[in-house]
C-alpha cells in the first residue's frame, strides 16, 4: 500500500499565513494546475509541476490522475471527542446540562473495551471520510478508551494526538478517577504510546471544575517533567461554567489563572473555546505561546458565544480550528469553515477562504507544533493528502463551474462543500478512503 506512486492534478498548499486581505500575501501559497506529488514510503519525495518532474520519475511508476480535482494537505482537527460521536445533535441544552444529561452517561460506556474499540474504528472511518488526517482527541477517563483509540490509529498509520481525561470530582462515580491515580494512568499510557510512530500524547484535564487542585497540580508537574507532551482542556466556553469556576477557585483572579497556577499554560497547550476572555487574558495566553481552539459549530449548537478571531490576532494569540464533536454538529472541516465564516459575519469579521483553508491545514499544524511533519505539501513532509471534488454534487458542479479564480472556487467549497466533496483521503502514503462511486 505504501508503494511509490505519483498523484497528478491541481494542488494547493499554504507555505505561510496568507493574511486577512482579500488576496493572499505574495509567496504564501503554492498552487499548481498540473501538479505532481511523488509519494515514497509514507512521505513526499518530490513535488512540482508534472511536466517538469516527469523526466525524473521512475519509469512505470503508478500515476493516479486527479484532473478536475484539487489536492490539499490533509485537514487537521485541533479538538474533538471521539467518545461523543454517538451523542452529536442531542437536543436543547447549554453546556453544563448537556454534559450531565448526555455526555457523562455516554462516556460511562467506554469502560468496556469492546465498545471503545468499536467506536474508535467508526470514528477513524468517519475522519477519513471527511478528509481529516490528524486530530487532537479527547478520550474518556478510562485508560482502555485511550488504548483502543491509539491501537486503531496506529494500525492505520495515522498521525494523532490523544489523551485520557483527568477528572476526579463533580462527575458520576463511574467516570471519576483519583487525583494521583489519574496521573499514574496517564504516565502508563505515555510510556506505551507517546512517540510511537506517528502518535503523541496530550495530557487531558477535562476542565477546571472536574479536577481538584491536587490533580491539576500533579498534571502540571508531569508536564514540567516532559515538556514535549501536549495538553488539551476547555476554557471560558459558557457563562454558567465561568461562574462555577469562580466559586470553586476563589483564589484565582480569572478562569485562565486556575490553569496558570498549576503550570498548565504552555506552548503545546490547547484551550478549547476560549470565548469569553478579557483582552488581558488573551495576551497572557499569547505570551505563553498557547493556542485557542475555535469550535464554531459547537459554539453555535450549545449557544456558547461568538469566538472573536480578530481579538486573538490583535493579542498575538494563535487560534486553531476544531469540530468539538459531540458539541459540534459537523466532523468535516468544510463544515467548520462554513460556521467559522458565519460566526465571523456576526462579528463583522468574515473569514476569507484563504484564511479558512490555511487554518485547516498549515495553521492548525503550526498551532499544534506538528508543522515539521504535516500541514504542507513539500518535499520530506508526511504524505497526508485530501483530494477535493469541486463537482461532487450537481449543485456544487453548477456553482463551481461559474468560479473564475482560485479564491472564488475555494470560497464555494468552504460554504457549500461537505463530506461528499472529499473524493479521496491519503494518510501515511496510503489511500485510506475513496468516496462511494455511486455518489
254 contacts ligand GUN (rule: CB under 6 A): no
Residue-level length of the chain: 439
How far is C-alpha 321 from the chain's CA centre? 6
Among 13, 44, 102, 103, binds ligand GUN (CB under 6 A): 103
Beta strands in 50-159 (DSSP E): 62-65, 70-73, 75-81, 132-138
Among 77, 177, 185, 237, binds ligand GUN (CB under 6 A): 237
Q: Which residue has the cell 515539521?
A: 372
Which range in 30-38, 87-95, 121-129, 272-280 contacts Zn ion by CB under 5 A? Answer: 272-280
Among 235, 272, 315, 414, binds Zn ion (CB under 5 A): 272
- What's phi and psi for 108, nearest 5 deg? -60, -30
Cell digits for 139?
Answer: 478520550
CA torsion through residues 390, 19, 315, 366, sign? positive
Q: Which of residues 318-377 bind ligand GUN (CB under 6 A)?
A: 324, 327
324 contacts Zn ion (rule: CB under 5 A): yes
Among 39, 80, 88, 95, binds ligand GUN (CB under 6 A): 95
In the shown chain, the binding pattern of residues 310 to 329 toward ligand GUN, with x for contact by CB under 6 A and - for none, equals --------------x--x--
Minimum gap (Å) between residue 204 Cβ and ligand GUN: 10
- CA nearest 297: which of 239, 337, 344? 337
Rounded distance, CA 37 to CA 6, Å?
Answer: 5
Minimum gap (Å) between residue 350 Cβ and ligand GUN: 24
Q: What is the DSSP letter of 266?
A: S
CA torsion through residues 403, 407, 413, 415, sign? negative
185 contacts Zn ion (rule: CB under 5 A): no
Which range in 95-103, 178-186, 350-358, 382-390 contacts ligand GUN by CB under 6 A? Answer: 95-103
Rounded distance, CA 315 to CA 310, Å?
Answer: 8
Of 237 and 330, the one with the shorter C-beta distance to ligand GUN is 237
Q: Using CB atoms, what's the residue nearest to ligand GUN? A: 327
Tell me how crowded residue 202 is: count the other CB atoms within 10 A of its CB. 25
Which range in 85-93, 149-157, 269-277, 329-337 contacts Zn ion by CB under 5 A? Answer: 269-277
241 contacts Zn ion (rule: CB under 5 A): no
Among 142, 159, 234, 284, binds ligand GUN (CB under 6 A): 234
Of 147 and 324, the one with the shorter C-beta distance to ligand GUN is 324
276 contacts ligand GUN (rule: CB under 6 A): no
Cell digits for 152?
Answer: 486503531
- What's phi and psi for 77, nearest 5 deg? -115, 115
Cβ atoms of residues 337 and 376 within 8 Å: no
Give the one entry of ligand GUN, Zn ion, none that residue 249 binds, where binding means its C-beta sits below a cut-off of 5 to 8 angstroms depending on kind.
Answer: none
Of 81 and 366, the one with the shorter C-beta distance to ligand GUN is 81
| CA dihedral angle for residue 106, residue 109, residue 114, residue 115, rounded to 10 degrees | -10
Of 95 and 218, the one with the shorter C-beta distance to ligand GUN is 95
Rounded distance, CA 243 to CA 238, Å?
Answer: 9
In the shown chain, the binding pattern of residues 53 to 82 toward ligand GUN, with x for contact by CB under 6 A and - for none, equals ----------------------------x-
Of 129 and 273, the one with the shorter C-beta distance to ligand GUN is 273
Which range in 31-39, 118-126, 221-229, 266-274 contacts Zn ion by CB under 5 A? Answer: 266-274
| CA dihedral angle for residue 403, residue 404, residue 407, residue 408, rounded to 10 degrees | -20
Beta strands in 108-264 (DSSP E): 132-138, 160-163, 165-166, 199-205, 230-235
Tell me how crowded residue 173 is: count the other CB atoms within 10 A of its CB. 6
Give the one entry of ligand GUN, Zn ion, none that residue 206 binds, where binding means its C-beta sits below a cut-off of 5 to 8 angstroms depending on kind.
Answer: ligand GUN
Residues that bind ligand GUN (CB under 6 A): 81, 95, 99, 103, 206-207, 234, 237, 298, 324, 327
Amino acid at each position: 500500500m505504501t508503494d511509490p506512486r505519483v498523484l497528478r492534478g491541481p494542488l494547493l498548499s499554504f507555505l505561510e499565513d496568507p493574511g486577512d486581505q482579500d488576496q493572499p500575501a505574495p509567496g504564501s501559497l503554492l498552487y499548481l494546475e498540473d501538479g505532481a506529488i511523488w509519494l515514497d514510503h509514507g512521505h513526499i519525495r518530490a513535488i512540482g509541476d508534472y511536466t517538469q518532474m516527469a523526466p525524473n520519475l521512475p519509469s512505470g511508476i503508478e500515476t493516479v490522475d486527479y484532473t478536475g480535482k484539487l489536492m490539499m494537505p490533509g485537514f487537521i482537527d485541533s479538538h474533538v471527542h471521539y467518545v461523543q460521536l454517538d451523542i452529536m445533535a442531542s437536543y436543547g441544552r447549554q453546556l453544563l446540562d448537556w454534559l450531565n444529561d448526555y455526555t457523562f452517561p455516554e462516556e460511562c460506556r467506554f469502560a468496556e473495551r469492546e465498545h471503545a474499540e468499536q467506536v474508535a474504528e467508526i470514528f477513524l472511518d468517519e475522519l477519513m471520510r471527511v478528509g481529516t488526517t490528524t486530530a487532537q482527541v479527547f478520550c474518556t477517563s478510562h485508560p482502555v478508551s485511550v488504548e483502543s483509540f491509539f491501537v486503531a490509529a496506529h494500525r492505520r498509520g495515522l498521525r494523532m494526538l490523544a489523551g485520557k481525561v483527568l477528572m476526579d470530582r463533580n462527575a458520576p462515580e463511574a467516570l471519576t478517577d483519583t487525583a494521583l491515580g489519574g496521573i499514574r494512568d496517564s504516565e502508563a499510557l505515555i510510556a506505551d504510546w507517546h512517540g510511537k510512530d506517528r502518535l503523541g500524547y496530550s495530557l487531558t484535564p477535562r476542565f477546571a471544575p472536574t479536577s481538584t487542585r491536587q490533580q491539576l497540580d500533579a498534571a502540571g508537574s508531569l508536564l514540567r517533567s516532559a515538556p514535549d507532551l501536549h495538553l488539551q482542556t476547555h476554557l471560558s466556553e459558557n457563562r454558567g461554567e465561568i461562574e462555577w469556576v469562580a466559586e470553586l477557585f476563589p483564589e484565582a483572579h480569572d478562569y485562565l489563572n486556575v490553569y496558570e497556577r498549576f503550570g498548565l499554560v504552555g506552548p503545546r497547550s490547547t484551550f478549547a473555546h476560549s470565548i469569553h476572555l478579557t483582552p488581558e487574558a488573551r495576551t497572557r495566553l499569547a505570551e505563553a505561546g498557547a493556542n485557542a481552539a475555535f469550535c464554531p459549530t459547537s459554539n453555535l449548537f450549545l449557544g456558547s458565544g461568538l469566538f472573536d478571531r480578530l481579538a486573538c490576532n490583535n493579542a498575538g494569540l494563535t487560534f486553531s480550528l476544531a469540530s468539538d464533536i459531540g458539541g459540534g454538529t459537523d466532523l468535516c472541516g468544510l463544515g467548520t469553515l462554513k460556521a467559522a465564516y458565519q460566526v465571523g459575519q456576526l462579528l463583522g469579521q468574515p473569514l476569507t477562504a484563504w484564511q479558512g483553508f490555511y487554518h485547516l491545514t498549515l495553521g492548525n499544524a503550526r498551532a499544534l507544533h506538528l508543522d515539521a511533519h504535516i500541514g504542507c505539501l513539500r518535499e520530506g513532509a508526511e504524505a497526508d493528502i485530501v483530494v477535493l471534488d469541486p463537482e461532487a454534487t450537481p449543485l456544487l458542479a453548477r456553482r463551481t463551474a461559474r468560479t473564475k479564480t482560485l479564491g472564488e472556487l475555494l470560497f464555494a467549497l468552504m460554504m457549500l462543500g461537505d463530506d461528499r466533496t472529499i473524493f479521496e483521503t491519503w494518510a501515511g502514503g496510503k489511500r485510506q478512503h475513496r468516496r462511494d462511486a455511486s455518489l
